[in-house]
Amino acid sequence: MAGSDKSATHLSEEIVQELELLNLFSLTSTLEGLKIHHEADPARIAAGVSLFAKGLTTLPDGGYLTPLGIEAAEHAQSAVQILRASID
C-alpha cells in the first residue's frame, strides 16, 4: 500500500463505537429500537448522537433506524458475520 493515505485504512475509535452500536439494532423488526441510557459509557452516548446527526437513527439516544440506518446496520452486521465466520 505504498503511497496510500493511512487514515483511509485506520478506523477511529468513534467509527468503531458507531459500528458496535449499529450491530446492536435488530434487523428483524423495524419496531425494535434502542435506548442509550444517560449513564452509559460516554463513547456509547457520543456514538448515538453521531448516528443521529448522520441521519441513521431517529433520536440522539437511540430510537429507531432510519431507512439509511437500516442499510448501514445491514452492512455492518454482514461484515461482522463474515469476519467472525473467517475465524471459526
| pLDDT of the residue at 9 | 79
**17 located within any domain:** yes
- Least confidently predicted of 6-15, 32-41, 53-62: 6-15
Q: Grid coordinates representing 43? A: 463513547
pTM above 0.75, yes or no: yes
**4 located within any domain:** no
Position of cell 446527526?
Answer: 53
Given a contact cutoff of 8 angstroms between Cβ atoms, the answer to whether 21 and 35 are in contact is: no
**49 located within any domain:** yes
Structural domain range at position 44: 12-24+35-87
Helix (H, G, I), strand (E, B) or coil at 15: helix
